[in-house]
Amino acid sequence: MSLPTPIYDLKQFDSVYEPSEDTFLFIDALEADLEYIHSLRPSCILEVGSGSGIVITSLARHFQTQCLFFATDINPVACLCTKQTAYLNNVVVHCTNMNLYCNFKSIFDIILFNPPYVCTEDSEIKPGINRSWAGGRDGRIIIDQFLSQLKLFLSDSGVCYMVALKENKPYEIMATMKVLGFNSCIIKERRILGEHLFVIRFIKEGNLK
Amino acid sequence: MKLITHNMLTSKCMKGVTVGYPLKIQAVDVKTSEVDFNPEFISRLIPKVDWNVLCEAAESVGFLDDLPRELIENYENDVDFLKKAHRVLLEVDIINGELVCPETGRKFPINNGIPNMLLNEDEV
């Protein structure tokens, strides 16, 4: 099973994060975990902060009508871009402009998040393209907001995949998540251009699948 | 915005809002677009849907047609019913309009089929 890179075109969307090494690492990690994802028989998959939309679209192409795909982004231009990327690849991704997942009432079987993980001053977290990368102290401001609410939005048998940087202290994140009731493991790791990237998988404790 | 999305959205993260559900729909431009029909998937999806909210939303935009207001028994074997549910959940598309918070009246615009649920700092 594979997840080919979807077609995308960012020409009209200059405030959207261009797919880079971290994006492709994320797709590679999901591809390596596809058998597990299938075993969950997901019906609703959400990507938070979808940007260009190529990650959620790669899964949508794979699962077609067996599943629904949702995406959120705080940047309205990124929502439009995600919608276009889905369209270019003949799939549907339901996009909503919101902060993380705070406007959802429902739970999801799979949640994906490639967060703004770059260590910056907190003041760098400001509207526009900055929101796609600026992560504040230790790159953890947005990551911690996201993870602190994950339990509310993930189904009991669900799984969350998140990208992190070494500077975000992934092992500390995993220890914190243990306290919040999640088992976690690193499913992919890569060193590129001065960045040491990880993809972490979170599963609710008590879920033996 | 498809009605499945409407079925899942709330304004409860706004200051002073307790439930924020369901949001009212004020549609300006509604269209339908054909989406591949997968009866097995639709019957797996239905238990996750708030059926009353779906029917009210469909009615408010003029697409309830003859969809039953009560979930029928053994719907998983009723292709005709699943097709109607599929149409209302995934094919009716609100392109422009507003979602309205039932408690505060705060309006959230829908443009290009995308609801904008973002809040100002003083609303959080």
Residue range A172-194: average pLDDT? 96
Cβ distance A97 to B11 less than 8 Å, yes or no, reads no
Q: How far is CA A182 from CA A39, A50, A193, in A?
A: 19, 23, 31
Residue of chain A whose Cα is closest to the Cα of B33: A92
Single-letter amino acid code for the residue at A28:
D
Does A194 score more than 90 pLDDT? no
Cβ distance A106 to B118 less than 8 Å, yes or no, reads no
Which residues does B28 contact at the CB level (< 8 Å), separation at least 6?
B95, B96, B97, B98
* Residues of chain B contacting residue A99, judged by C-beta atoms under 8 Å apart: 118-119
Could you give the percent of chain A with pLDDT greater than 90?
Answer: 92
Cβ distance B9 to A95 less than 8 Å, yes or no, reads no
Going along chain B from its start, the domains and CATH numbers come out as 3-116 (2.20.25.10)
State the pLDDT at residue A26: 98
The stretches of chain B forming alpha helices (DSSP H) are 3-8, 39-45, 51-60, 79-86
Query: pLDDT-based confidence at A19, cuts 50/70/90?
Result: very high
CA-based nearest residue to A98, from A117, A75, A124, A126: A75
Query: pLDDT-based confidence at A200, cuts 50/70/90?
Result: very high
Which of B38, B90, B119 lies at the smallest CB-CB distance from A66? B38
Query: pLDDT-based confidence at A79, cuts 50/70/90?
Result: very high
* Residues of chain B contacting residue A64, judged by C-beta atoms under 8 Å apart: 36, 38
* CATH topology for the A21-204 domain: Rossmann fold (3.40.50)
State the pLDDT at residue B108: 98
Q: Which residues pair with B27 in a beta bridge?
A: B97
Give pLDDT tens digits along chain B (124 positions): 999 999 999 999 999 999 999 999 999 999 999 999 999 999 999 999 999 999 999 999 999 999 999 999 999 999 999 999 999 999 999 999 999 999 999 999 999 999 999 999 899 8
State the pLDDT at residue A104: 98
> Within an 8 Å CB–CB cutoff, is residue A40 touching chain B?
no
Cβ distance A96 to B114 less than 8 Å, yes or no, reads yes
Q: How far is A74 from chain B (nearest CA, A)?
A: 7
Summarize pLDDT for A36-76 with one digit per residue, the tens: 999 999 999 999 999 999 999 999 999 999 999 999 999 99
The average confidence (pLDDT) of chain A is 96
Does A129 score more than 90 pLDDT? no
Cβ distance B36 to A74 less than 8 Å, yes or no, reads no
> Within an 8 Å CB–CB cutoff, is residue A157 touching chain B?
no
State the pLDDT at residue A127: 85
* Residues of chain B contacting residue A106, judged by C-beta atoms under 8 Å apart: 7-8, 48
State the pLDDT at residue A208: 58
Q: How far is B25 from chain A (nearest CA, A)?
A: 15
Cβ distance A67 to B13 less than 8 Å, yes or no, reads no
> Within an 8 Å CB–CB cutoff, is residue A106 touching chain B?
yes
Query: pLDDT-based confidence at A209, cuts 50/70/90?
Result: low
Residue of chain A whose Cα is closest to the Cα of B91: A92
State the pLDDT at residue A89: 98
State the pLDDT at residue A41: 95
Residue range A99-128: average pLDDT? 94
Q: Where are the domains of chain A?
A: 21-204
Q: How far is A178 from chain B (nearest CA, A)?
A: 26
Which residues does A24 contact at the CB level (< 8 Å), separation at least 6?
A5
Under 8 Å between Cβ of B118 and A100: no
HSE value, Cβ hemisphere, 13 Å, CA-based, for B93: 16
Q: How far is B104 from chain A (nearest CA, A)?
A: 15
Does A203 score more than 80 pLDDT? yes
Q: How far is B72 from chain A (nearest CA, A)?
A: 21
